[in-house]
């Protein structure tokens, strides 16, 4: 899988809970995810700025990891052959329709795995009954 | 686990019963646009998820991307346009309009939220997707009937089971997926056909069955051209042969409601991707798959698969040669497995078989099983083929 940095644009770059939430969502689908909090930059002993963060994220992501981070500015790095950068406003992640279409685009581009089931488990039971009625499961 | 749907999720935009009635009410005062036979097949297959990840008829960006790059704008491989053409006599519409979709008789089959109305260069479309602009190609003939304006947008489709042919064999992708799981299949091979079953087809299917858990017999029953054997005759042949010659738990038969486009190689990939949505991990690609006349090279439909990364296709093409009975081998074979000259091979052209059947001559049992031959002969006498 091509590496991906999801760059969440926040007012002050400080709301970290939304990063974790998105990280969990992608991880539950079987994606390899690294949530890169703003604090991580400081912990690495780097200057706290978006440029250092972007470089660190790009290095991680170029190994095929989905990296989720946030910043007040647009990142200084650009999408390339091994790396895709997708930017989304924090407020958009709270809008279900925009959130879903953002994730769906990532799925279609092969950047994050799709949900695990193809048919909802409740519907699966209903379909089994129909298949029985049609005689497909007689044997 | 079965192979995931193309683009990751199965589209589900098909409605029936009271939900379908709601759609009909909602479009009551809207403009109604007319579906031609191909578009009606496409609408059904977008709605039931066979064309996942499509959620509607293509907008200009997807259309251009598919024609030029064999991909949807969002990335997934997609080789043929799935479009809705503006018809003469239909009302003018614009992006933002909500319209109903009706057939020529006026029955409403769904709706569309229009996102794009765009002009297409149909000659370029023919050249790039069919590989020809020759008017004798059925796909070019079809394009020649269109205006060149396409209307794109998300659809909802209406299902009316009681009006359908082959009601016991209409499985949607989610249904074949549940069926495969219920049978414990992790891999399945799809066999697409618009022909009756001869020994050659049986041999190829069974070769494929040796390496996967199950076989999905998926005869195409959508719009085809005159001269193809009618679907009900083909279905009778398959019902007959399944009685005695295949292990019941290893085969599932369901109809594939797609219209033929006769686009050869590009349609082979298209057919494969749609079968992936039905849960198949493998797809049988014969010589000149989806070809017509002499428009495509013998192996074009097989070689095109090499242009894609196997992971992004997500379904494995099983490339087969024509099969025949070889009297020296004492069994079915193909040029890949038989070392003997043609004189030992029992092989008849479709034309020759048809002539024999009309004259009341049974083809040799090494070519067609007698049970099948008698169905075909009866149909030939009635003028069905
Ligand atoms: Zn031989």
- Cβ-defined contact of A137 to B179 (cutoff 8 Å): yes
Question: Which residue numbers of A have CB closer than 8 Å to B's CBs?
Answer: 104-105, 107-110, 113-115, 118-119, 123-124, 127-128, 130-131, 134-137, 139
Residues in chain B within 8 Å Cβ distance of A118: 2, 4-5, 9-10, 174, 177, 279
Write the Ramachandran bin of B264: left for phi over 0, alpha for psi from -120 to 50, otherwise beta.
Answer: left
Starting at the edge strand found earlier in the chain, the sheet holding A83-89 runs A33-36, A66-71, A3-9, A83-89
Say what the pLDDT of residue B372 is: 94
Q: Which residues of B touch A137 (CB under 8 A)?
A: 179, 182-183
Least confident of A27-41, B104-118, B130-144, B255-269: A27-41
Residues 6+ apart with CB under 8 A from B269: B70, B77, B79, B304, B305, B308, B313
Question: Tokens for A132?
Answer: 């029985």
Question: Is B183 in a helix, a strand, or coil?
Answer: coil
DSSP for B291-341, written as a single string: --TTSS-TTHHHHGGGGS-HHHH-SEEEE----EEETTTTEEE-TTT--S-
What's chain B's average pLDDT? Answer: 94
Q: Which of B44-48, B60-64, B192-196, B268-272 has the lowest mean pLDDT?
A: B192-196
| Cα-to-centroid distance, A125 and ligand 1 (Å) | 49
CA distance A39 to chain B (A): 34
Beta strands in A25-91 (DSSP E): 33-36, 66-71, 83-89
What are residue A3's DSSP bridge partners?
A83
In chain A, what are the domain boundaries? 3-133
The answer to whether B94 touches B86, Cβ cutoff 8 Å, is no
Fold for A3-133, please state it: Rossmann fold (3.40.50)
Please state the ipTM of this predicted complex. 0.87
Q: Is the predicted pLDDT of residue A63 greater than 90, yes or no? A: no
Residue B222: phi, psi to the nearest 5?
A: -75, -165
Q: Report the alpha-carbon distance of residue B234 to residue B219 in Å, rounded.
A: 8
Is there a contact between B4 and A114 if contact means CB atoms under 8 Å apart? yes
B314 interaction partners in chain A (CB closer than 8 Å)? none
Look-up of token digits 């981070």: A69
Q: How far is the CA of B289 from the centre of ligand 1 (A)?
A: 25
- Cα B247 to Cα A139, B30, B102, B166, B214, distances in angstroms: 10, 51, 42, 22, 10
Residue A26 burial (10 A CB sphere; 0-12, 13-18, 19+)? buried
Pairwise CA distance, residues B44 & B156, whole Å? 9
Q: How many pairs of residues across A and B have Cβ atoms under 8 Å apart?
A: 61
Predicted confidence at residue B225, as pLDDT, reads 65
Tokens 């909500």 belong to residue: B98
Q: How far apart are CA B91 and CA B178, in angstroms?
A: 42
pLDDT tens, position by position, B72-104: 999 999 999 999 999 999 999 999 999 999 999
Mind listing the pLDDT tens digit for each residue in A2-55? 889 999 998 765 678 889 999 999 999 888 999 988 888 778 887 777 788 888
Q: How far is A31 from chain B (nearest CA, A)?
A: 13
Contact call for B7 and A114, based on CB within 8 A: yes
Is the full-model pTM beyond 0.90?
yes
Measure B53 CA to nearest chain A CA, in Å.
8
CA–CA dist A19, A66 (Å, integer): 12
B218-243 pLDDT per residue, tens: 998 876 666 677 888 999 999 999 99
User: For all residues of chain A together, what is the average pLDDT?
Assistant: 88
User: Would you say B156 and B111 are in contact if contact means Cβ atoms under 8 Å apart?
Assistant: yes
CA–centroid distance, residue B203 to ligand 1 (Å): 14
Cis peptide, bond prior to residue B21, ω within 30 of zero: no
CB contact under 8 Å between B178 and A105, yes or no, is: no
- Both ends of chain B: CA-CA distance in Å? 41
- Calculate the alpha carbon distances from A120 to A117, B262, B286 in Å: 7, 35, 35
Q: What average pLDDT does this structure show over A119-132?
A: 94
CA atoms lying within 13 Å on the CB side of residue B262: 20
Q: Which residues contact B15 (CB under 8 A, 6 or more apart)?
A: B22, B23, B47, B156, B157, B158, B159
For the cut 60, the answer to whether the pLDDT of residue B206 exceeds it is yes
- Helix (H) / strand (E) element for B35: namely none
Number of CB atoms found within 10 A of residue A5's CB: 26
Strands (E), chain B: 14-15, 32-34, 56-57, 98-102, 108-119, 149-158, 188-193, 214-219, 251-253, 282-285, 316-319, 324-326, 331-333, 345-346
For the sheet with B316-319, list strands across it. Answer: B251-253, B214-219, B188-193, B282-285, B316-319
Q: What is the pLDDT of residue A50?
A: 78
Contacts for B64 with CB less than 8 Å, ≥ 6 apart: none
B197 CB-near residues (< 8 Å, 6+ apart):
B234, B237, B238, B241, B372
The pLDDT score that the predictor gives to residue A12 is 66
Q: B285 CA to middle of ligand 1, Å?
A: 22
Distance of residue B253 Cα from the nearest chain A Cα, in angstroms: 9
Q: How many CB atoms lie within 10 A of CB A73?
A: 12
Pairing of β B324-326 and β A83-89: unpaired
In B, which residues are within 8 Å of A104 by CB distance?
9
Cβ neighbours of A114 in B, within 8 Å: 4-5, 7-9
CA atoms within 13 A on the CB side of B273: 31
How many CB atoms are closer than 10 A to CB B71?
16
| Chain-chain contact of B174 with A114 (C-beta, under 8 angstroms) | no
Tokens 């043609």 -> residue: B342
Are A118 and B279 inside 8 Å of each other by CB? yes
Q: Which of B76, B252, B312 sits opposite A136 (nearest CB)?
A: B252
Give the helix/strand (H/E) hosting A8. Answer: strand A3-9
* DSSP notation for B270-296: HHHHHHHHTT-SEEEE-TTTT--TTSS
Instruction: Measure in Å the smallest separation between the Cα of B6 and chain A Cα atoms.
Output: 9
Residues B273, B287: Cα–Cα separation, whole Å: 18
B328 CA to centre of ligand 1 in angstroms: 5
Query: Rounded distance, CA B266 to CA B134, Å?
Result: 17
Instruction: Report the candidate in B20, B93, B108, B14 with the shortest Cα–Cα distance to residue B56.
Output: B14
Cβ count near B183 (within 10 Å): 18
Report helix, strand or coil for A92. helix
Just list the catalytic residues of B: 194-195
Is B9 close to A104, i.e. CB distance below 8 A?
Answer: yes
Question: For B355-384, how does the pLDDT look when each residue is reduced to its tens digit (9 = 90+)?
Answer: 898 888 999 999 999 999 999 998 888 775
């Amino acid at each position: 899988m091509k590496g991906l940095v999801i760059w969440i644009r926040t007012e002050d770059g400080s709301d970290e809970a939304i990063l974790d939430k998105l990280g969990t969502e992608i991880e539950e689908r079987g994606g390899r995810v690294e949530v890169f909090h703003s604090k991580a930059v400081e912990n690495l002993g780097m200057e706290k700025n978006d440029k250092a963060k972007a470089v660190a994220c790009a290095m991680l992501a170029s190994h095929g990891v989905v990296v989720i981070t946030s910043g007040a500015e647009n990142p200084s790095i650009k999408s390339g052959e091994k790396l895709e950068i997708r930017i989304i406003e924090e407020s958009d992640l709270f809008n279900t329709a925009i959130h879903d279409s953002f994730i769906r685009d990532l799925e279609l581009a092969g950047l994050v795995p799709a949900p695990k089931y193809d048919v909802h488990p409740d519907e699966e039971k209903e379909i089994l009954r129909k298949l029985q009625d049609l005689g497909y499961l007689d044997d | 686990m079965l192979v995931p749907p193309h683009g990751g999720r199965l589209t589900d935009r098909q409605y029936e019963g009271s939900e379908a009635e709601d759609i009909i009410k909602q479009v009551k005062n809207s403009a109604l646009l007319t579906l031609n036979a191909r578009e009606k097949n496409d609408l059904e297959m977008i709605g039931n998820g066979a064309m996942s990840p499509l959620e509607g008829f293509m907008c200009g960006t997807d259309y251009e991307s598919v024609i030029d790059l064999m991909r949807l704008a969002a990335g997934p491989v997609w080789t043929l346009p799935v479009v809705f053409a503006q018809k003469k006599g239909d009302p003018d519409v614009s992006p933002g309009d909500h319209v109903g979709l009706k057939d020529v008789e006026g029955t409403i089959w769904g709706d569309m939220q229009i996102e794009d109305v765009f002009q297409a260069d149909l000659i370029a479309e023919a050249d790039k997707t069919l590989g020809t602009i020759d008017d004798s190609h059925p796909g070019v003939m079809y394009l020649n009937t269109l205006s060149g304006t396409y209307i794109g947008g998300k659809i909802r489709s209406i299902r009316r089971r009681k009006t359908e042919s082959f009601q016991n064999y209409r499985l949607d992708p989610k249904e074949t997926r549940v069926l495969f799981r219920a049978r414990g299949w992790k891999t399945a091979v799809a066999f697409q056909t618009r022909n009756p079953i001869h020994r050659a087809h049986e041999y190829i299917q069974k070769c494929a069955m040796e390496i996967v858990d199950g076989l999905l017999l998926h005869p195409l029953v959508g719009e085809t051209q005159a001269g193809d054997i009618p679907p009900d005759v083909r279905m009778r042949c398959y019902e007959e042969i399944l009685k005695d010659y295949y292990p019941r738990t290893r085969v599932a038969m369901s109809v594939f409601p797609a219209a033929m486009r006769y686009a050869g190689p590009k349609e082979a990939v298209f057919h494969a991707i749609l079968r992936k949505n039905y849960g198949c991990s493998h797809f049988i690609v014969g010589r000149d798959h989806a070809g017509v006349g002499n428009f495509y090279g013998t192996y074009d439909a097989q070689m095109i698969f090499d242009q894609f990364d196997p992971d992004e296709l997500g379904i494995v093409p099983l490339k087969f040669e024509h099969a025949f009975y070889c009297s020296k081998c004492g069994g079915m074979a193909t040029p890949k497995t038989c070392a003997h000259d043609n004189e030992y091979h029992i092989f008849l052209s479709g034309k020759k078989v048809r002539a024999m059947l009309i004259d009341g001559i049974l083809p040799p049992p090494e070519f067609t099983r007698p049970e099948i031959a008698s169905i075909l002969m009866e149909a030939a006498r009635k003028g069905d083929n």
